[in-house]
Amino acid sequence: MKIDKILFRDAFFCTIMTFIVAGILYFTFVNLSFLDPFENTFKDFKFTDYYYSKRFNKEQRSDKIILVNVKHADRYQLAQAVNKISAQSPRAIGLDIIFKDRKLAFTDSILKASIASNNHIVTSYFHENDSIVNSDPYFRTDNAKKGYINLNLKDQNSVIRDFIGVKDNPNEKEYAFTTKLALEAGLIDESYAEKELKKRIPINYIGNKDVFLNFEIDEILELDDIPALKDAVILMGYLGDGNTQFDIEDKHFTPLNSEWVGRAVPDTYGVVIHANILNMLAKKNLIYRVSVFPTYVIAFISCFLILVFSIRLYKRNSFVFDITEKFVQLLLSVVLLYVAILLLQTNIYLSVMPIILLSLLGIEMIDYYEYLVTYLNKKFKWESHLL
């Protein structure tokens, strides 16, 4: 019994030592500029991306959110498409397009009339540094509803994982394009947006373009009647113009990329990201993110438990420990990643990286901990399970 107590004490102190060493290493990475690539690599990498990259989520498609590829259609064609879609009575139409300048007076006036004629159109704008980039003032209408289409968040690298639906600015409240669209379509109400969408939420991706019913603008213009448009939310944006493999206009990195580490080619069009967010809002299928403190508590417990097992094995037979150490580390990573993926399936996002790294580092720290307790034993008669 006494031995067990000492074993647990050793595991506890070894865990603390692991955390201290990990902390020192982390701050070294953060503060030394020449180690920036490592820091950025770790930022770019999330174990949980494996879930989306390998499509662990249940295959589901949507005909309630419909994408329309505007390609490089001119403003007259866009106006015609808006009119045609409006005539089918969708819940709302989102224009993920910015008409930065005026082009031809005639076609511009037709487009403006089309936008003004529908009360459920949401237009877009974006923040660039300290300014706001909008469509030309000519296209602003009295009933204009608009939302920001920024997908970049503070501290987020190029991979689009999170989203903020409502920003509380000192002067006015700002809504994301998808939040505004969901409000306009009646998929959520103001109180829900206020309560749930002010914080940073991981995007619950269901898939790329293929999981949403999508039309080319030519199809919209050619077909007389598209029953699915009725009561659907329509998102008009760019989804490629022919050569999708090499076309990277408005294409971004997301966890859907088949290369979950070392992404090189953008994988998802901006409008598809908006569609995924909208689908998440429509189904109120938000992901709960486990905050930093509970994550590190779990990391501590995981590290402690693996150290209890490892120290016991180390003491019993250090040869077996050396042989099995790497296997245990591999198995531990596989099991912890599995747990994180299981949790993600139930809409709980646990950042498993610190848990895995600290647990693996903990096993490596046993040798150093042994040197420490040997020294302490000589100096202060410190008892340890390892001696």
Q: Given the rule CB under 8 A, which residues bind other proteins?
A: 54, 56, 58-63, 66, 211, 213, 215, 219, 222-223, 225-229, 334, 338, 341-342, 345
229 or 272, CB closer to other proteins?
A: 229
In angstroms, give the least distance from the CB of 164 to other proteins.
Answer: 26
In angstroms, give the least distance from the CB of 59 to other proteins.
Answer: 5
226 or 352, CB closer to other proteins?
A: 226
| C-alpha to C-alpha distance for 296 and 10, rounded to whole angstroms | 19
| C-alpha to C-alpha distance for 90 and 223, rounded to whole angstroms | 16
Burial per residue of 32-57, b for 16 or more beta-carbon CB atoms within 10 angstroms, e otherwise: eeeeeeeeeeeeeebbbbbbbbeeeb
211 or 307, CB closer to other proteins?
A: 211
| C-alpha to C-alpha distance for 211 and 209, rounded to whole angstroms | 6
In angstroms, give the least distance from the CB of 50 to other proteins.
Answer: 8
| C-alpha to C-alpha distance for 76 and 47, rounded to whole angstroms | 46
**Closest-CA residue to 242 (of 216, 271, 208, 269):** 216
In angstroms, give the least distance from the CB of 219 to other proteins.
Answer: 7
First to last CA, the chain: 17
> Rg (Cα) of the chain, in Å, rounded?
27
Are the C-beta atoms of 164 and 198 separated by less than 8 Å? Answer: yes
In angstroms, give the least distance from the CB of 61 to other proteins.
Answer: 5
128 or 225, CB closer to other proteins?
A: 225
In angstroms, give the least distance from the CB of 326 to other proteins.
Answer: 13
175 or 212, CB closer to other proteins?
A: 212
What single letter denotes the amino acid at residue 360? L
137 or 227, CB closer to other proteins?
A: 227
In angstroms, give the least distance from the CB of 272 to other proteins.
Answer: 16
Instruction: Measure Cα distances from 315 to 14, 31, 301, 303, 367 in Å.
Output: 14, 38, 21, 18, 11
221 or 376, CB closer to other proteins?
A: 221
Q: Is 146 helix (H, G, I), strand (E, B) or coil?
A: strand
Burial per residue of 148-179, b for 16 or more beta-carbon CB atoms within 10 angstroms, e otherwise: bbbbeeeeeeebbbbbbbbbeeeeeebbbbbb
